[in-house]
Homo-oligomer: A and B are copies of this chain.
Amino acid sequence: MDLSPEQQDLPGQRGPHHHEMRERIVRAAEARFRHFGYGKTTVSEIAADLGVSSAYIYKFFGSKIAICEAVCASLLGRIDEALWAEARSPRTAAERLRRTYRLLLEHSLAMFFNDRRLHDMVITGLDQRWASISRHVEVMEEVARFLVQEGRASGEFERKSPLDEVAKAVASTFSPFCHPVLLEHGIDDDPGAKAEAVATIVLRGLSA
């Protein structure tokens, strides 16, 4: 259900799947990308940081963009983990869902303000429909479904409407708080308050 990011199979991967070098490459690449951006780092530089030749990198990744996807997967994977951790915490489902909105917003804002270059990479990935990003939106849907189920099981939420439909709708309401492009636009208008307000309405809509 929630693999660790490095275990996913992403397009453009190559060679042994579980290999220490693969992880080291991703970490080195992330550092460079964070600092200089995707365009301004060459794979030779990443290789040099690890003390190997660039040819060796290509034993693990089929292209530079594949490295970028892996970095992206790792980044989003960390958010996914935080999301699941919260979703499984010992609180009411309603409280967990409300916190999901907060958590999502918090992580998205953090990326926007602290690592603008990585944020821009994610935007690139978005309109090129990278698998790592689709995976992340799937996880958000799964978390939404899980929380709705939990709330139904505990009697907090109504049980009549089709689970899947409700889960998708809830996940849709996440987008203003997790989508990089929307975020950039609504950044000035107290997104925190908006997230709370949306959470409040949605929770009311779900309640038994």
Cβ contact of A200, chosen from B129, B161, B173, cutoff 8 A: B161
Q: What is the bound-complex CA distance between A170 and B198, given in angstroms?
A: 7
Taking a contact as CB atoms under 8 Å apart, the answer to whether A202 and B205 are in contact is yes
Interchain nearest-CB distance for A94 vs B (Å): 12
Q: How many copies does the complex hold?
A: 2
Taking a contact as CB atoms under 8 Å apart, the answer to whether B127 and A166 are in contact is no
Give chain A's interface residues, CB within 8 Å of chain B: 126-127, 129, 161, 165-166, 168-170, 172-173, 175-176, 179, 181-182, 184-185, 193-194, 197-198, 200-206
Q: What is the bound-complex CA distance between A203 and B206, given in angstroms?
A: 11
Taking a contact as CB atoms under 8 Å apart, the answer to whether B181 and A169 are in contact is no
Known: A176-B172, A176-B175, A182-B175. A165 touches B197 (CB 8 A): yes
Taking a contact as CB atoms under 8 Å apart, the answer to whether B168 and A194 are in contact is yes
Taking a contact as CB atoms under 8 Å apart, the answer to whether B193 and A165 are in contact is yes
| Contacting residues, chain B, for A166 (C-beta < 8 A) | 197, 201
Taking a contact as CB atoms under 8 Å apart, the answer to whether A201 and B127 are in contact is no
Q: What is the bound-complex CA distance between A44 and B169, given in angstroms?
A: 48
Q: What is the bound-complex CA distance between A43 and B75, given in angstroms?
A: 45
Interchain nearest-CB distance for A52 vs B (Å): 37
| Contacting residues, chain B, for A170 (C-beta < 8 A) | 201
| Contacting residues, chain B, for A127 (C-beta < 8 A) | 181, 184-185
Taking a contact as CB atoms under 8 Å apart, the answer to whether A172 and B184 are in contact is no
Q: Which residue of B lies closest to A184 (CB)?
A: B127
Q: What is the bound-complex CA distance between A176 and B201, given in angstroms?
A: 17
| Contacting residues, chain B, for A129 (C-beta < 8 A) | 185
